[in-house]
Structure 1
Amino acid sequence: MQIDDRGDMAYVNRVADDELGMALARAGAVLIEGPKASGKTSTASRRAASSVRVDTDPTVLPQILVDPSMVLEGARPRLLDEWQVHPELWNAVRRAVDDAPERGQFILTGSTVPGADAVRHSGAGRFARLRMRTLSLAESGDSDGNVSLSALLEGEPPRAGVSRLTFDGLLARIARGGWPAQIGLKDVEALASTRDYAATISTVDIGSTRSVRDPLRVDRLLRALARSVGTEVSISTLARDEASLSRDSVREYIDALTRIFVVEDQPAWSAHLRSSAMLRKEPKRHLADPSLALALLGADATALRGDLAFAGQAFESQVVHDLRILAQPLGGEVFHARDSVGREVDVIVQFPSGRWAGFEVKLGASAHVVEEAAASLRAFAANVASEDPPVLTVVTGFGPSYRRPDGINVVAFGAFGP
């Protein structure tokens, strides 16, 4: 983020900017969802001709009580920020789009998924959906952006020298996070801000799901999730770790945290294997931003350096976070895979065409580390029946980016871009 002439923070260009433009061009309304403080309102405001803050504008409720469609009056595209505070607006927008079937009329932003009974109509054919997350390294300027993910997936070999993002710089970026409003803060200030954010999750934000939750238990569960970030920790293990919740209660709490976009699991991949090995079904657990895990555990970049095992978990979670952002405009969904004989891939990006790409994530970049990761990718890919050969890549924490003689890419995380 840069500072403008008035001393205010200028807008950070987002991968979602182009996605929003395309969504407005194909649908009457666009729903942007994601965690609080991820930049949804700023991105939407740049496209909106008028807006209303549904959660804070005192004139909204009286209009809702008379006729919800009154809130929709204004120049279009009209932004309804935090629309889910008054779920009636969903059907009002749906009817308005039906009555005047023009594209790009409304933008709705939300940091909570309403309950199943709050939205009775899916909005199919009327709403486009867009998921926003905190800043990727490419968006925050911490990545050189010399290796394009889209070009990599099209078969172009990566070619970049050592990225400017050092090992310590990477740990510092993971600790401070990708929260747009924190750019420009000192690292210690950013970490304190994230800790404040983490505290509000258990005391305030989860209440927006309209479910009764014990803040102390929510906090303990969040800490258990933080300790296991980037791993396939089971519901049973989380219940034992948290100690005071049953497995069913853990599921309910995780569902509530998912509905406010604090938890975003990485589902297990489903594919046809050549052997009789079975793919495991447990998801990997991730938080909205890896910095939340550190904030919940009272850790910082120095603590990460002193615990390289946990640093590896946090790094893998950061890579998953960024690949979700970079792959989304390409139609890619992010999974992980592990079979019953131990073959695994840290990240699989699946495309609607059936093509897939596999990524092994390694914090180190030594020849031995890269060779082991490449061998793992080859072994897994050889056991998957697929028409098109996958793009296989080892993602390292630092170093150069290149293609190995066996065709497997090696890309330093600080080089990735759209």
Structure 2
Amino acid sequence: MRRATDYRPRRASDLVAEALLDTRVVVINGARQVGKSTLAELVVRQHPNGTTRFLDHPLTRSAAVEDPIRFIDHDGLMLIDEVQRVPDLWLAIKYLVDRDPRPGRFLLTGSARLLSLSSLPDSLPGRSETIELWPLSQGEIDDEPDGFVDAAFTHGADLRAESRDLRRKDYLTRVERGGFPEAVQRETPRRRQRFFQSYIDDLISRDIKQVADIQRAGDMRRLISLLAAQTGGLLSANRLAGELGIVRSTVQRYLEILETIYLIRLIPGWSTNATTRALATPKVTFVDTGLAAHLTAGPLADLSVGGLMENFVLGEIARQLSWSDIGASIYHYRDRDKHEVDGIIEDNSGRVIGIEVKAAETVRSEDFKGLRLLRNRLGTRFLAGFVLYCGSQSLSFGDGLTCLPISALWTTPRP
């Protein structure tokens, strides 16, 4: 566990605490090394009579395999770390909480989307709540409010941001650093590169083997590199299959595995009756931009900067959606006429915020082309369109359209 002086408070901690008040089983899911165990341990320490079980210890894991019911028999809150290592525990937990439905019985962590694993014998419908923990947001790193999403739906295009002394090079530094706590803690790019290399090696040799039988690890490694080179671009399984020399069905299976272990995130295409020519093809993003940047060769080239900056912005928005008071989802938009918008945030009532990302320090009127198209087609459903860029000014570009510095994502207070 990290030293207390190194720990950065996580916004997910409040979500976990709230869930334990009324839910029997709470699951913290996320990539390896995002801080799941640290967060879970801190939560358990706040509960009297709490206990922990770490399944990465061979003796502990053996005990869980031999006698699952006795292993989990405890009166208070029990943390089981890396629960996917012993699938039979799932049924044992279900057995106990069905007979004793008190809330706050179990806190589970896993480095994969647990309910999608074929090795698990059953799910826990109505008994569990899953909270996804992502790499650190910029607000968690800098102790800023991370309030852009809520503020955008509250203020619309009237939203303005404080000017911060950040230039393009400063944003690129953040992109390359990423949000893994261990990488953020390391002081030099060279030390971070060592972390990222070890991370990829462990991912392929350990995590992937936990969720699937991969015979040709070299194909998986090459696929990961190809995805990093096209981050922010549309996914084409056919093209990837051609470049790798393997069949399309294998590529699709590999992509599902990479989503399951939280390496990549696919942003679905968005459409509505007003945009009937929209494409359903998803967009590829990495859960951590530092890892994606590491997988591109050498310093960031101009061709990769735009995609990584877009990945960075969409990733920050996705993190905020996990704790936002606004029930919303993130998409991207592209149609057959090649009109596109980098990000679409749609709330449960159908209101839409459009996001364009520019890895430049200036903004031009044509940068709002896709946003204007959406505004004109959606009418009152279109709440605002923002171009987020590497400059410092907040300016109006017409009805419902505004440019903001990218830092507005984490410096904007929540309403």
TM-score, length basis structure 1: 0.88
Q: 1:70-126, CA deviations, whole angstroms, 9 ceiling, x for partnerless residues?
A: 222346322111000011222222222222222222111111245654334331211
Question: Following TM superposition, by how much is the alpha carbon of 1:336 offset from its aligned partner in structure 2, in angstroms?
Answer: 0.8
**Pick aligned residue for 2:384 from 391, 397, 404:** 391
Contact 1:198 1:295 (C-alpha < 8 Å) held by counterparts = no
What is aligned with 1:23? Answer: 19
Q: Quick one: structure 1 residues 367 and 224, their matched pair in 2 at CA, closer, same or farther if it must change by over 3 Å?
A: closer
Contact 1:158 1:403 (C-alpha < 8 Å) held by counterparts = no
CA distance in structure 2 between the aligned counterparts of 1:75 and 1:401, rounded to whole angstroms: 54
2:276 matched to 1:316? no
Residue 127 of structure 2 aligns with an amino acid whose one-letter code is R
- Greater mean deviation of Cα atoms: 333-342 or 109-118: 109-118
CA distance in structure 2 between the aligned counterparts of 1:316 and 1:273, rounded to whole angstroms: 25
2:168 matched to 1:167? yes
Percentage of pairs with the same residue: 25
- 3-state secondary structure, aligned to 1:390: strand
Find runs of 4+ consecutive structure 1 residues off by over 4 angstroms. Answer: 143-147, 402-405
2:230 matched to 1:228? yes
Q: Structure 2: 5+ residue runs without aligned partners?
A: 45-49
What is aligned with 2:183? Answer: 182
Pairwise CA RMSD of aligned residues?
2.3
CA distance in structure 2 between the aligned counterparts of 1:261 and 1:316, rounded to whole angstroms: 18
Contact 2:29 2:36 (C-alpha < 8 Å) held by counterparts = yes
**Pick aligned residue for 1:341 from 330, 337, 359:** 337
CA distance in structure 1 between the aligned counterparts of 2:355 and 2:145, rounded to whole angstroms: 18
What is aligned with 1:110? Answer: 110
Counting matched residue pairs gives 400
Question: Following TM superposition, by how much is the alpha carbon of 1:199 offset from its aligned partner in structure 2, in angstroms?
Answer: 2.3
Pairing 1:24-103 to 2, within 5 Å after superposition:
24-48=20-44, 49-66=50-67, 68-74=68-74, 76-103=76-103
Question: Following TM superposition, by how much is the alpha carbon of 1:194 offset from its aligned partner in structure 2, in angstroms?
Answer: 1.0
- 3-state secondary structure, aligned to 1:265: strand
Q: 1:332-356, CA deviations, whole angstroms, 9 ceiling, x for partnerless residues?
A: 2211111122222111122223323
What is aligned with 1:325? Answer: 319
- Greater mean deviation of Cα atoms: 374-383 or 260-269: 374-383
Pairing 1:3-22 to 2, within 5 Å after superposition:
9-22=5-18
Question: Following TM superposition, by how much is the alpha carbon of 1:144 offset from its aligned partner in structure 2, in angstroms?
Answer: 5.3
Q: Quick one: structure 1 residues 220 and 109, their matched pair in 2 at CA, closer, same or farther if it must change by over 3 Å?
A: same
What is aligned with 1:375? Answer: 369
Q: Quick one: structure 1 residues 272 and 190, their matched pair in 2 at CA, closer, same or farther if it must change by over 3 Å?
A: same
CA distance in structure 1 between the aligned counterparts of 2:69 and 2:262, rounded to whole angstroms: 28
Residue 389 of structure 2 aligns with an amino acid whose one-letter code is T
**Pick aligned residue for 1:354 from 350, 354, 358:** 350
Question: Following TM superposition, by how much is the alpha carbon of 1:146 offset from its aligned partner in structure 2, in angstroms?
Answer: 7.9
Question: Following TM superposition, by how much is the alpha carbon of 1:397 offset from its aligned partner in structure 2, in angstroms?
Answer: 2.4
Q: Structure 1: 5+ residue runs without aligned partners?
A: none
CA distance in structure 2 between the aligned counterparts of 1:414 and 1:72, rounded to whole angstroms: 45
- Greater mean deviation of Cα atoms: 199-208 or 212-221: 199-208
Residue 278 of structure 2 aligns with an amino acid whose one-letter code is L
TM-score, length basis structure 2: 0.89
Contact 2:341 2:356 (C-alpha < 8 Å) held by counterparts = yes
- 3-state secondary structure, aligned to 1:361: strand
